[in-house]
Amino acid sequence: GGGGGGSLFGDVMVRAKIAAKILMAPALSGAIESVVANRAEAQRFYGISKLSAVEAQLKWNVAARTCGPAFVANSSRNFVMSSTSFVITPLLFKTYFPVEHRSEQSLFWFGLGVNIFGGNVVAITQQALWGRALDYGAVGGGRTIRYAHVVREGLQAEGASAFFTVPKWFSRVLMNAPIQGTLPWFYNSILPLGEGAFMRGATSAYPGDR
């Protein structure tokens, strides 16, 4: 009995480690994308002078200024979309899509479907949270964003529509789905087409490296 329990625990730990590694990639990807882009997005939202005033009032250090306000909501949105393209879509397609119907075309449409009706449904709530967090953070010339307060105030004011409406979702789908929804198909069907030429070129450029 004890040996079986230990084996079960070990199996659970192995699976947990695998899951953590799988989730780490989109988490890092989302965070890096937000480090690069969030401050610029906040500048467009506030205007350069207003963002500078908020940062000055909050006495932010270099790291905080680099990340920008509402960084958590921004990186959460990016994590959702990265997970949808590079983890959830390939995993669902490989595990549950009927083998006899798998093809480049079915992967193309499956990826779009998961992006439109899965990833973007969640991502639009994070996009709305980001905007509301920026509004909250600018009150009084600048204050610390408390996400629990942002969510509570949004729900009290507008209910669920504070974070999700069909028009918001549809506009995000039009902007995001054509590119990000087809990434699994692109990486599996288009990118490999140039792999042979690339490897031959690399071999010619570095003939001594094997």
As a three-state string, the secondary structure of 29-72 is: HHHHHHHHHHHHHHHHHHCHHHHHHHHHHHCCCHHHHHHCCCHH
Determine the 3-state secondary structure of 208 from DSSP. coil
Dump pLDDT digits (tens) for 22-34: 889 899 999 999 9
Report how far residue 182's alpha carbon sits from residue 107's, in angstroms, rounded to the nearest whole number: 9
Report how far residue 174's alpha carbon sits from residue 165's, in angstroms, rounded to the nearest whole number: 14
pTM of the model: 0.84
Ranges of the chain whose pLDDT falls below 50: 1
* pLDDT value of position 205: 77
* pLDDT value of position 203: 81
